[in-house]
Structure 1
Amino acid sequence: MSISKNSVWVFDLDDTLYKERDYQISGYDFIASLIKQIYQQDVNPIIKQAIKDKKDVLQSICNYLNLPLSVKDSLLWQYRNHIPKLMLDDETKNTLFHIKKNSLAIAILTDGRSVSQRAKIASLGLSHYDIYISEEWGKDKPDDKRFLAIMDKYHSADSFIYIGDNINKDFITPNKLGWITIGLKDDGSNVHNQGDQNLAIEYMPQHWINNFNEYIKLVNISDNVIIGAGSTVIHSISSSQTVIGSPAKQM
């Protein structure tokens, strides 16, 4: 896979640049501290049990404290608007550093609420990148509005690359627009599973990676292009999909 340095790399946010479960943990820690402060109750055991049982955490808290349903709405508002404690892992940091040196631009295109998503992005130290959040544009993926806006802004780019995780909505639009699409495989800790792998081919990424380290191992740098390293195996899984990484089973 050869990619020009005059390219724009666009990333999904949740379960791509960081694990969304880390945001959940941050939010529930905040709620537990708030409950302790205003109700003088420790609800950490209730939160842990609700997560284990896959139950509604905020509803479980209200049931435990014998609070009306309206309080759940207030807690949800607090959860969505808290300032999260998040960090990029080293793989992601290295990947962004590598791409930044060898690209025209990096952008983040994510679905969600403006305040919540921007708080996540700020906590991760990524606010300096171009940011495209669905609530601010009035459309969720797979609507093409934000993708086209990026193409218009960087009209001189040689190519566009999108990296995401959700096969239901992340890849169908950039595929149609002629972008390169890369899917980041769920390592088992994603909040939302990657769904039906039998979706039509246009919903699937052209390439899969298991982690960002595989991407870093894949590429070498030349003056004009990023070229796939000869020692790396690219496993074909269909006419338009590959799995990038060291020798492994085909997915």
Structure 2
Amino acid sequence: MIKAIIFDLDDTLFPESEFVKSGFMAVDNYLKQQGIVGFYREALYLFNQGTRGNIFNLALDQLKVDYDLDFISKLVAVYREHFPTIKLHEDAKWAIQYLKEKYKLGIITDGFLVTQKNKVKALGIAADFDVVVFSDTYGRENWKPSSVPYSKVMEALQLKGEQLIYVGDNPAKDFVTAKKMGWLTIQIKRKQGEYLNIEVSEEYQAHFVIESLFELKDLLLGLEKENKSKFEGAENAENV
């Protein structure tokens, strides 16, 4: 019997692109204080073109700004530590309110601790969840797919793997360990998700794939009926 639904955060409950834009704006405001203008426009263009990892460097190159490693590190700190302007997906708002009436709810999220904590605060959702595990609390080596964050959830809720579901968006890391620990797994595959086109082997794939969290209602009802049928079948067998 499923007792708890645990969610990934970025691109599962809210669009990570909103955080990126908010971070670019924070860096833009910082650079304006240094007399440098135009960063937001250049950085956003690069991001929308699919650039990842060196956007700050490339944007400053476009602006003809001289920089060194320390300057880039400062911009990265501004980006990571800013308090973001973000909001939940509409289906996430619904899912939280619907599910918390029947299940324990939790979050497992990777990312730098201050960044992820600021996201949760900005979304105003902490009170809706019974457990929030920031994997960075236990070190970068314990980000997913480490078993540590999943174990912390099980310890906090006092539940076994077969009583838990994990809902995430990144098949490269979200599901492989949860499955090994007995959890059911669901991939939210949004039409514009960051990991939409990732191909992984079967062991990394989720048990179920949905395009919207609104689909959780029917999926969970189906699982409940299936479990009820199995239980009734086992009970009848014992009575024979």
TM surpasses 0.5: yes
Alignment match of 2:34 (pick from 30, 38, 48) = 38
CA offsets, 1:95-119, max 9 Å, x none? 011110011x211101111100010
Q: CA deviation at 1:37?
A: 2.9
Query: Which residue of structure 2 lines up, in the alignment, with residue 143 of structure 1?
Result: 146
User: What is the alpha-carbon distance in structure 2 between the residues aligned to residue 151 and residue 39 of structure 1?
Assistant: 50
Consecutive unaligned residues of structure 2, counting only runs of 5 or more, are 227-240
Query: Which residue of structure 1 lines up, in the alignment, with residue 233 of structure 2?
Result: none
Consecutive unaligned residues of structure 1, counting only runs of 5 or more, are 229-251
Q: CA deviation at 1:83?
A: 0.3
Q: CA deviation at 1:132?
A: 0.9
SS at match of 1:161: strand
Alignment match of 2:56 (pick from 58, 73, 80) = 58
Higher strand share: 1
Query: Which residue of structure 2 lines up, in the alignment, with residue 206 of structure 1?
Result: 207
Query: Which residue of structure 1 lines up, in the alignment, with residue 133 of structure 2?
Result: 132
User: What is the alpha-carbon distance in structure 1 between the residues aligned to residue 198 and residue 23 of structure 2?
Assistant: 25
TM-score by length of 1: 0.78
Pairwise mapping of residues 1-251 of structure 1 onto structure 2 (< 5 A)? 4=2, 7-39=3-35, 41-55=37-51, 56-63=54-61, 64-69=63-68, 70-103=70-103, 105-128=104-127, 129=129, 130-138=131-139, 139-156=142-159, 159-190=163-194, 192-197=195-200, 199=201, 201-220=202-221, 226-227=224-225
**Letter paired with 2:92:** T
Higher helix share: 2
Q: CA deviation at 1:141?
A: 1.1
1:186 and 1:194 in contact (8 A); partners too? no
2:9 and 2:108 in contact (8 A); partners too? yes
CA offsets, 1:18-67, max 9 Å, x none? 11111101101111122223315243332343334444331134321523
2:15 and 2:89 in contact (8 A); partners too? no
Aligned length: 217
Query: Which residue of structure 1 lines up, in the alignment, with residue 230 of structure 2?
Result: none
TM-score by length of 2: 0.81
1:171 and 1:205 in contact (8 A); partners too? yes
Query: Structure 1 residues 126 and 194 mapped into 2: Cα distance closer, same or farther (>3 Å)?
Result: farther
Q: CA RMSD for the aligned pairs?
A: 2.3
2:24 and 2:44 in contact (8 A); partners too? no
The percent identity for this pair of structures is: 25
2:39 and 2:60 in contact (8 A); partners too? no
